[in-house]
Chains A and B, each alone.
Chain A
Amino acid sequence: MLCHLDAAYNLARWIVRDEHDAQDIVQEACTRAFRAFGTFRGGDARPWLLAIIRNTAISMFSRRDELIEWDDEYANGYAAQQADPQELLLRAADAERVRAAIASLPLELRTAIVLREMEGLSYKEVAAVTGVPIGTVMSRLSRGRERLASLLAEPRQIGGRR
C-alpha cells in the first residue's frame, strides 16, 4: 500500500483539483484502506487502493457540484473539431496547457484519462477502479481524448474555464 502513495495522491489531486482537498482525501482513504487490508486478497494492490481513493473522494466531496457534474452535455451535440495532428503535437509540448485541458474535463472522463495515461492501468483495471463495464471505459477514453484534442486545437489559452 505504501508503495502506491504517489498513485493515490495523483488520482485524488486530479479528481478534486485542489492540493489541500487531495491531502485530506488521501489521509482518510489510507486509514480506510489500512483497516480494510484484511479484505485484500492478493493481486495488484494499486487498483484496489485507487478504488478506495476514488470512493473516498466522491463520498467526501459529493456535495460539491463540480465533482458530480454529469457529462451528458458532452455526449450529445458535442462536435469534435478536426485537429491537425502535427499542430497538436506542438501544443501538446506545452505542459501547462495540457494540464489545464485535462483539468477542465468532466469528472468521469478526467478520471479515465488519469488512470489510463498517467497510471497505465489496463481497461479492465480502470473498469474495476471506477465500477463500470469495460465498454464504458472505452467510450470515456475516446470521448475524453477527443475533447482534449479539441481543447488543444483551440487557438487561445484555455486556462481557468471552470
Chain B
Amino acid sequence: MNCRELDDLLHAYADNELDVANARALELHLQECGACSNAFATARAVKGAASHPSLYYRMPSELRDTIVRQVRHESPPSRPGWIVRRIPAAIAAALLLGVVLWGSVQWADRTSIASADRREVLASHLRSLQPPHTLFDVASTDQHTVKPWFESHIDYSPPVRQLASAGFPLEGGRLDYVHDRPVAALVYRRGQHVINLFVWPGESGAGVATDRGINLVHWSSGGMTFWAVSDLNPDELQHFGNLLRATDSAR
C-alpha cells in the first residue's frame, strides 16, 4: 500500500466509515507501517480533542424562547387579531411539532428497509446531477454497448432495455453506490427530465414515493430490485416502470 494515498482511508477508518475489505487491508498495513500507525494515533487524538463536550455551544435560553415564540407565531392557524402571547401556545406548537416528528419516525421505522433504500437512491440521483459528478461512465444510446460495459464492471448483469420508441431514450449508464455497494445505474431521459434507474440483485417489494420533489418508483422482478428516480411527474414515471416490467416479462 502507498502511504500517501492512505490518508483519507486512515481517517475514514478512525470514523468507522470504511467498508470491510478496505478496513481489513488497512489494519494489516498499520501493523507493519510505523509512520501510518503514528498518523492513525494522531487522527484519533485530534478526534478526541475536537469532540470534547466543552467545545459545544449550547443555545442561550433567551434565544430559545424567542424562537419558540416565533415558530408559534408562524404556525397555522393564525387568525388576524387573535393575540396569543402566552407560554401555553408555545408549548402547544412545540408539542404539535413533536407529534409530527414522532409520527414520521414511527412511519420510517415501519418501512425502514424500503426507506433506507429510498434515501440512498435519492441521494445518488441528486449527486449524479451535481456538476462535479458525471451522469455517465458509459454514454451510449445502444443497449448492446451499455450492457457489456456493465458486465465488465460489476458482478451481475442488469437488464438493459432501449425505450426510445416509447419516448424514454436510453442515454448511458454508470456505476453508483447504494449502501456502500457498487450498483448499476442506467440513465434514461424524458424530454428535459433525467431518469436514473438503479438495479441491483435481490427482490425487495414495490412501491412509489415522493421525496423533496423527486419521484421514486420501486419494483422487483427477475431476482432484481429496480428504483426509477426522477423529477418527472409520478404518472409518467409509473408508466416508464410499467414499460420496463412489461418488456422484462415478455423476454
In the complex, what residues of B have CB within 8 A of residue A95's CB? 52, 54-55
Interface locus among B65-73, B142-150, B199-207, B240-248: B65-73
Which residue from chain B places its CB closest to the CB of A147 in the assembled complex? B46
Partner of B7, one of A6, A91, A124, A146: A146
**A1-B101, A133-B133, A139-B8 are known contacts. Are A152 and B49 too (CB-CB below 8 A)?**
yes
Which residue from chain B places its CB closest to the CB of A39 in the assembled complex? B212
Interface locus among A60-68, A71-79, A113-121: A113-121
Contact of A42 with B107 in the complex, beta carbons under 8 Å: yes
Contact of B127 with A133 in the complex, beta carbons under 8 Å: yes
Q: Which residue of A2, A122, A152 has the most chain B CB atoms within 10 A of its CB atom?
A: A2
Check if B137 is an interface residue, CB within 8 A of chain A. no
> A127 CB to closest chain B CB, in angstroms?
8
**A145-B47, A148-B50 are known contacts. Are A3 and B127 too (CB-CB below 8 A)?**
no
Contact of A145 with B123 in the complex, beta carbons under 8 Å: no
Contact of B48 with A118 in the complex, beta carbons under 8 Å: no
Check if B98 is an interface residue, CB within 8 A of chain A. yes
Q: How far is the CA of A140 from the CA of B56 in the complex (A)?
A: 20
Contact of A118 with B55 in the complex, beta carbons under 8 Å: yes
Contact of B57 with A13 in the complex, beta carbons under 8 Å: yes
Check if A158 is an interface residue, CB within 8 A of chain B. no
Q: How far is the CA of A66 from the CA of B10 in the complex (A)?
A: 30
Query: What 1/0 mask marks residues of chain B from 59 to 95 whose CB sits below 8 Å from any chain A CB?
Result: 1100110111011001100000000000000000010
- Measuring CB to CB, which residues of chain B are less than 8 angstroms from any residue of chain A? 7-8, 10-12, 15, 17, 38, 41-52, 54-60, 63-64, 66-68, 70-71, 74-75, 94, 97-98, 100-101, 104-105, 107-108, 115, 119, 123, 127, 130, 132-133, 210-213
- Measuring CB to CB, which residues of chain A are less than 8 angstroms from any residue of chain B? 1-3, 5-6, 8-10, 13-14, 22-23, 26-27, 30-31, 34-35, 37, 39-43, 45, 82-83, 85, 88-89, 91-92, 95, 98-99, 102, 113, 116-118, 120, 122-124, 127-128, 131-133, 135-136, 138-139, 141-142, 145-146, 148-149, 152
